[in-house]
A and B are shown apart, each in its own frame.
Chain A
């Protein structure tokens, strides 16, 4: 047979895609086993340390919740009210006003009767943008509230300012617009109380989607599935990501990312690594990797853990434009973080993280959108060249589609089995349908967003965070309940 370059490329790519796909499928099946074990183990452990025991305990680690706020005037008062109501005996709340240009600070001062304190001698282990004033409430019922007013420096910088001013053992980061379950701190502290062999440096929990749900006084009173298909598919995506992905990683101590929207960290360790990196949009992943590297360097056994319960609710992008922007930002964050820590790649010094976890992220998190994009391109090119056997291609596509559906269905099964958020038949059927529509209506948008993000990084196109236009959940006035 004559040497034909296009034929040669065609088969090389085909085998590459097949090998890549099979590896991914094998990893996903492995993740199902691990996550199932992890969820079951977590449930068993939780029986021996119930929230009622913790809430009445003394000597438990104190926690500061740090909530950066930038132009959140519309919702800040309600959100702070809800954050102040969290159940935890030793709890402080620091709201960092990151140079808002609206009335965020004025509203906080008026509502919570804040008075300013001299900040001349305040120590700042992590350098941040200038802190203008520190506010504390004159009212006893808000004594755990501190508001830091600083110049604008971005979310990471605001978080760093919060870390500086916190005086507790643990710090929890969240977004000011997240709805946090009232007993979430009691659940999040469990791993810190129960671990003895390894130091827990960070703990995350599942995050849920709250679009179209009913919220009263910062508490979710009626959880509903979003009506719009895009956030509805994100419900499935989040279930799959947290329940299959993060829980599986947690089982093998491979968690590198604790979501920036809801993560609890040991304050002393964060200070040791100099806080969040303000030069990346993937600050949560970057911090996670840096913390792990630090622990490896100082040779202290450590753990980053996830708990399967959904303790934090957030509003998901409601339209394609915002969704693409969000994924574009996430992709840039991933790219930047992977580039910053490229020394980890197959680096034996960092043991499992260097040899497995980081390469996994490189090949299958950073690499997946590129491979998918290449796959679509090859399909078009080889299709035009008449090299594709369409009958086989359709059968192969059906296989891949069914595998994807199975993974989503199993995630939904694990969720339904262990949690009661979506327990009516109608809701489960809707979730399943959303999962089956995902590859056609949703996934291409993700790939587009991610490839766009990579493009910006490769060609140095500047980009900003961008604001997400929130549709909002239904907020009931008091007399409606």
Chain B
């Protein structure tokens, strides 16, 4: 390799270093300037909002002046980051205000820039802009865009479809569940949690007709969502839906079913059903969970069931069963089992515990 080539490489590397230095300096200076500018937008917005909500007597708010002020602060379509900041401020303010002032604020926001910014974002090619637009639409309660959200419910991007589905729940309530069997893509845990929460907050009266229509769906995420809804709304009459999934082949569905069933108490038939399902569960940890639940909701100890497990179960299950029996007045049964094991050991047989 020639020395000249190495010298050229060194010079190029030095140039790269200088570029990176420049980028660091620019980033730091820009951040300082940006912070100042955002503070200015925030102060102006606070003044405008308070003047509008609590005007001085005989003084009408001058909307033209307000619009001009925002324009001068850079709230124009060519500066989307400023627009975004203002939208975030609007959402934050709207969230914290209730009653008559909430309606007044909604009117104000339709009269000042940005105009239709959130709806325009739905046409963006970038997922994070589109998803943000959807979120703003539902946060600002702009239900005139419900149809647009329905179109995006199966979007290929997980964030876009998640926000669209949450928006649909907010706008349509229980009716939105009829779309569940028609969803084509996966739903995340967060999506399920958010949907259940929004239903509880905005539509606390369950509409079982729509929920039961959704029972037709056999997709794991739909099953999970329905079980969470049944749990959240404490729908005792629909608990059989959860029970049927306790011994499902899929670990996650079983996990969700175990979690959801834990807040219900069951009648004897249902208890019998879950005891039968207990034997079909392959995962020991989940078996333990179910065992604890059975013990918690049972009025009396089902001795044959526990004894069967004590003599035929997995080692860890046996220990848990021994714990339950011991602490519920069946010490003799536990002792008898251990004596038997001891005897077997003395006979040279394998001791399971």
Q: Are A193 and B190 in contact (CB under 8 A)?
A: yes
| B contact residues around A194 at 8 Å (CB) | 158, 188-190
Interface string of B192-207 (1 = CB under 8 A from A): 1110110000000000
> With A48-B135, A123-B288 as given contacts, are A268 and B283 in contact (CB-CB < 8 Å)?
yes
In this assembly, does A20 line the interface, its C-beta being within 8 Å of a C-beta of chain B?
no
Interface residue SS majority, chain A: helix
Docked-complex contact B10 and A58, CB < 8 angstroms: no
Query: A371 on the interface (CB 8 Å rule)?
Result: no
Interface membership of A343, Cβ < 8 A: no
Instruction: Give chain A interface residues in 392-414, CB to chain B under 8 Å.
Output: 392, 395-396, 398-399, 402-403, 405-406, 409-410, 412-413
Task: Report if A398-B1 is in contact (Cβ < 8 Å); known contacts: A192-B189, A196-B186.
Answer: no
- Which single residue of chain A is at the shortest CB-CB distance from B318? A123
Q: Is the CB of B197 within 8 A of A402?
A: no
B311 at interface (Cβ–Cβ under 8 A)? no
Which residue of B128, B188, B196, B255 is within 8 Å of A196 (Cβ)?
Answer: B188
Q: Quick check: B197 and A395 within 8 Å, CB to CB? A: no
Complex-state Cα separation, A412 to B28, whole angstroms: 12
Q: Which of B13-21, B146-154, B264-272 contacts A (4 or more CB under 8 A)?
A: B13-21
B20 & A410 in contact (Cβ 8 Å cutoff): yes
Query: A305 → chain B, closest Cβ, in Å?
Result: 14
Query: Which residue of B17, B189, B319 is within 8 Å of A123 (Cβ)?
Result: B319
A416 on the interface (CB 8 Å rule)?
yes
Asked whether B27 lies within 8 Å of A399 as measured between CB atoms, the reply is no
Q: Are A196 and B24 in contact (CB under 8 A)?
A: no
B316→A125 contact, CB < 8 A: yes
- Binary CB contact string for chain A from 374 to 392 against chain B (1 if under 8 A, 0 otherwise): 0000000000000000011
A59 touches which of B6, B13, B228, B251 (Cβ 8 Å)? B228
Interface string of A27-65 (1 = CB under 8 A from B): 000000000000000001101110001000111110000
The one of B20, B128, B186, B196 that contacts A47, using a Cβ cutoff of 8 Å: B128
Does B351 lie at the interface of the complex (its beta carbon under 8 Å from any beta carbon of A)?
Answer: no
Given known A125-B285, A406-B17, contact A428–B24 (CB-CB < 8 A): yes
**A106→B158 CA distance, assembly (Å):** 51
**What is the bound-complex CA distance between A386 and B287, given in angstroms?**
73
A113 within 8 A of B: no
Instruction: Check if A268 sits within 8 Å of B285, measured CB to CB.
Output: yes
Enumerate chain A residues within 8 angstroms of B184, measured Cβ to Cβ.
none
Q: A125-B284, A268-B283, A395-B3 are in contact. Are A413 and B196 (CB under 8 A)?
A: no
Chain B: CB-nearest residue to A44: B128
Distance to closest chain B CB from A399 (angstroms) = 5
Determine how close the nearest CB of chain B comes to the CB of A403; give it in whole angstroms.
7
Alpha-carbon distance A197/B322, docked complex (angstroms): 40
Q: Mark B1-38, 1 if CB is under 8 A from A, else 0.
A: 10100110110011011001101100110010000000
Interface flag for A195 (CB, 8 Å): yes
Q: Inside 8 A of A402's CB, which chain B residues have their CB?
A: 10, 13-14, 17
A241 within 8 A of partner (CB): no
> Which chain B residues border A480 with CB–CB below 8 Å?
none
Alpha-carbon distance A48/B24, docked complex (angstroms)? 28
Q: Across the interface, do B28 and A58 meet the contact criterion of CB distance under 8 Å?
A: no
Tell me whether A197 and B189 are in contact (CB under 8 A): no
Question: Is the CB–CB distance between B193 and A58 below 8 Å?
Answer: yes
B13 touches A196 (CB 8 A): no
- CB pair B190–A49 under 8 Å, yes or no, is yes
Q: How many A-B Cβ pairs are below 8 Å?
A: 111
Closest to B192 in A: A59
Residues from chain B with Cβ under 8 Å of A440 in the complex: none
Contact of B10 with A121 in the complex, beta carbons under 8 Å: no
B residues near A44, Cβ cutoff 8 Å? 128
Residues of chain A lying within 8 A (CB to CB) of residue B16 = 406
Residues of A within 8 A of B241 (CB): none
Whether B248 sits at the interface, judged by CB under 8 Å, is no
Considering the chains assembled together, what is the distance between the CA atoms of A120 and B163 in angstroms?
49
Query: What is the distance, in angstroms, from B332's C-beta to the closest C-beta of chain A?
Result: 16
* Closest residue on chain B to residue A408 by CB atoms: B20
Closest chain B residue to A410 by CB distance? B20
What interface size band does chain B fall in?
A: 35 or more
Check: A299 CB closer than 8 A to any chain B CB. no
A405 touches B17 (CB 8 A): yes
Q: Does A423 contact B (CB under 8 A)?
A: yes
Least Cβ–Cβ distance between A375 and chain B, in angstroms: 17
Inter-chain contacts of A169 with B (CB < 8 A): 255
Q: Check: A460 CB closer than 8 A to any chain B CB.
A: no
Residues in chain B near residue A392, CB distance under 8 A: 1, 3, 6
What are the residues of chain B within 8 A of A195 when measuring CB–CB?
Answer: 188
In the complex, whether B221 has a CB less than 8 A from a CB of chain A is yes
A396/B28 in contact, CB under 8 A: no
Q: How far is the CB of A219 from chain B (nearest CB, A)?
A: 24
A267 to B285, alpha carbons, bound, how many Å? 10
Flag whether B168 is at the interface (Cβ < 8 A). Answer: no
B345 to chain A, nearest CB (A): 19
Q: How far is the CA of A193 from the CA of B187 in the complex (A)?
A: 10
- Mask: chain A, 417-451; 1 = CB below 8 Å from B; 0 = not: 10000010100100000000000000000000000
Q: Does chain B have a CB within 8 A of A129?
A: no
A271-B31 in contact (CB<8A): no
- List, in ascending order, chain B residues with CB within 8 A of A48's CB: 128, 131-132, 135, 159, 162-163
Q: How far is the CB of B82 from chain A (nearest CB, A)?
A: 17
Contact pick for B186, options A60, A61, A197, A398, CB 8 Å: A197
Contact across chains for B1 and A416 when beta carbons are under 8 A apart: no
B232 contacts partner chain A, Cβ-Cβ < 8 Å? yes
Interface string of B114-152 (1 = CB under 8 A from A): 000000000000001001100100000000000000000
Say yes or no: is B323 at the interface (Cβ < 8 Å to chain A): yes
**Are A413 and B163 within 8 A (Cβ)?**
no
Contact B24 A399 (CB under 8 A): no
Q: Are the CB atoms of B9 and A399 closer together than 8 Å?
A: yes
Q: Does B320 contact A (CB under 8 A)?
A: yes
Taking a contact as CB atoms under 8 Å apart, the answer to whether B6 and A58 are in contact is: no
Q: Which of B20, B135, B228 contacts A413 (CB 8 A)?
A: B20
Q: Which residues of B contact A60 (CB under 8 A)?
A: 189, 193
Looking across the interface, which residue of chain A has its beta carbon closest to that of B131?
A48
Asked if B326 is an interface residue, CB under 8 A from chain A, the answer is yes
With a 10 A CB-CB cut-off, give which of B3, B187, B251, B320 has the most chain A CB atoms.
Answer: B3
- Bound-state CA distance A45–B127 (Å) is 10
Q: Are A396 and B128 in contact (CB under 8 A)?
A: no
Give chain A nearest CB distance to B11 CB in angstroms.
10
* Per-position 1/0 for B276-302, Cβ under 8 A of A: 000000011100100000000000000
Write 6 A-B pairs (CB below 8 A) sorted by A numbering.
A59-B193, A59-B232, A125-B316, A268-B283, A399-B13, A423-B31
Starting from the known contacts A395-B7, A402-B17, A406-B13, 12 additional A-B residue pairs (CB-CB under 8 Å) come to: A47-B132, A48-B135, A58-B196, A59-B228, A60-B193, A123-B320, A196-B186, A196-B188, A271-B285, A392-B6, A402-B10, A413-B20
The 6 closest A-B pairs by CB, nearest first: A121-B323, A196-B186, A193-B190, A395-B6, A402-B13, A44-B128
Interface residues, chain A, with chain B CB atoms under 8 Å away: 44-45, 47-49, 53, 57-61, 120-123, 125, 169, 192-197, 267-268, 271, 391-392, 395-396, 398-399, 402-403, 405-406, 409-410, 412-413, 416-417, 423, 425, 428
